[in-house]
Structure 1
């Protein structure tokens, strides 16, 4: 097992882009992974891979979980019209669990020593990721740069600018789930 290999849950957004550069700066071999549960087009997945590789990561992988997510979860949420406050579909929280499971299994399969995610510490995604990672791969250390360093979005943007990443982060003001 490489003591430098980190699997990074990577969406290609501000937080995970910051994580990719930060983890590389810490001397780790960064292997990004995105989990498709049905919300991405082939073009978006290719663009995310292209972006990750341009950031100098060691590898990028797309884990396809669309059918699994639908068959084991989403169809039941749809059939049951499961909504929070009769308005908000609970599919996002369920989706995070499937993403975390796929990432944890992948990290184990590549003998990663670390697993990282870009959750900020402000929401429930961090709990979902951390809990599932701790259960599925308790021997793999979890790294959470955004949460641990208590970074603002502006601090992330400024850091990335020093790395030559000059992407408009106007859209980064808010997180959007498809």
Structure 2
């Protein structure tokens, strides 16, 4: 009889390397490794050889960067999603794409289960498994870190390293970088280790080597740089006059933003599973794109449409953070967002200087801003009669006057 097949989300780090070998031994199954190229750069080097040497029967290393930018980052930025007012959701938005492709591979290979190396304390376990539930409810999910047998065998990293050495699994684990990282096209995150102390300062001079995508703002150029971003229906389509794909937009903005020390965030956030955690993020290109998109909307979006969309930002961001990308409520909100973006077109000019993204101009052929109406001088269009405001204010003040009268009578 053919062995059962399990598709494992594989990064090649200590955890997933050990898990690959452990799954094969424990389940006597054929393990198919899957790595999504979503912009990790050199972290992908040597993964195929390593996975096969560790016991995988096959490995998929799929370039999903273009899909990530077009179908995940862009829709999320159109929604102006920002979790707890700071986090641009770089890790969160990558997980549904990885899980989606893992499900596709499982079905193509005839696998009965998928597996991941997310811990039982984090958000990623939820994101992977909610996506699988939405797209392939027939698949089983194996989460080793939630299995007592696995935790008993590997109570700490020392046991995992010893296991790797025993099985000749090459791993990189040292005290030189006592924190974990997760990198993709949108950002890189840092957590755990020394960062678990919220008083620890990652921006201190002695810790400059930790950051990857951006220079320290203090070391950024002393000369500001101006850039222009062109938008079409809510998506950036050109930078400084050069037409670019969504992937090229992100790559270009990351390079420009990183040079100027843009996009660093240090926050304590609320995980879906109930605990607080400290995360440090670098999102240079995303920070520029988010700011530019908002400025484009300010000129071209109807007031009440913008306010309606904005009222859903917190809900939308929480859905992404908590793993509900493929849930019907996220799709419903996205439909509203897409409708709101139909006229978000034009050009935004920004000034980049030592970690700051400063607005320097915005224009659009479908601008809703009319200087003739907004002017403090005489209105040549006669579109707005200042005297009309008297009745407008009187009607809006009516309920306040009535309410105040009731309160005053009650005090007598």
TM-score for both structures, normalised by structure 2: 0.40
RMSD: 2.3
| Aligned-partner Cα distance in 2 for 1:4–1:76 | 37
| Aligned-partner Cα distance in 2 for 1:54–1:3 | 19
CA deviation vs aligned residue, 1:105-163 (integer Å, no higher than 9, x gap): 11111110221111111111000111212232222221111231334323322222221
Aligned residue in 2 for 1:20: 20
| Aligned-partner Cα distance in 2 for 1:3–1:127 | 28
Structure 1 position 46, deviation (Å) = 4.2
Aligned residue in 2 for 1:164: 168
Give 5+ residue unaligned stretches, structure 1.
none
| Aligned-partner Cα distance in 1 for 2:2–2:137 | 16
Structure 1 position 93, deviation (Å) = 0.3
Structure 1 position 2, deviation (Å) = 4.7
| Aligned-partner Cα distance in 2 for 1:140–1:97 | 16
Aligned residue in 1 for 2:135: 136
Report if aligned partners of 2:3, 2:30 keep a CA contact under 8 Å in 1: no
- Please state whether the residue corresponding to 1:88 is helix, strand or coil: coil
| Aligned-partner Cα distance in 2 for 1:24–1:113 | 14
| Aligned-partner Cα distance in 2 for 1:131–1:78 | 22
Aligned residue in 2 for 1:4: 4
CA deviation vs aligned residue, 1:32-89 (integer Å, no higher than 9, x gap): 001122x133x54341112112212101111222111111121244456533344322
Aligned residue in 1 for 2:181: 176
| Pairs aligned (count) | 176
1:39-54 superposed matches below 5 A = 39-41=39-41, 44-54=43-53
**Alpha-carbon spacing, 1:113–1:76, altered in 2? closer, same or farther (3 Å):** closer
| Aligned-partner Cα distance in 2 for 1:113–1:3 | 11
- Please state whether the residue corresponding to 1:34 is helix, strand or coil: strand
Aligned residue in 2 for 1:34: 35
| Aligned-partner Cα distance in 2 for 1:58–1:166 | 18
| Aligned-partner Cα distance in 1 for 2:2–2:104 | 17
TM-score for both structures, normalised by structure 1: 0.86
**Alpha-carbon spacing, 1:13–1:173, altered in 2? closer, same or farther (3 Å):** farther
| Aligned-partner Cα distance in 2 for 1:15–1:173 | 15
Which structure is higher in RCO with an 8 Å CA cutoff and minimum separation 6? 1
Report if aligned partners of 1:3, 1:113 keep a CA contact under 8 Å in 2: no
| Aligned-partner Cα distance in 1 for 2:2–2:124 | 27
Structure 1 position 29, deviation (Å) = 0.8
Give 5+ residue unaligned stretches, structure 2.
184-412
Bigger radius of gyration among the two = 2
**Alpha-carbon spacing, 1:173–1:54, altered in 2? closer, same or farther (3 Å):** farther
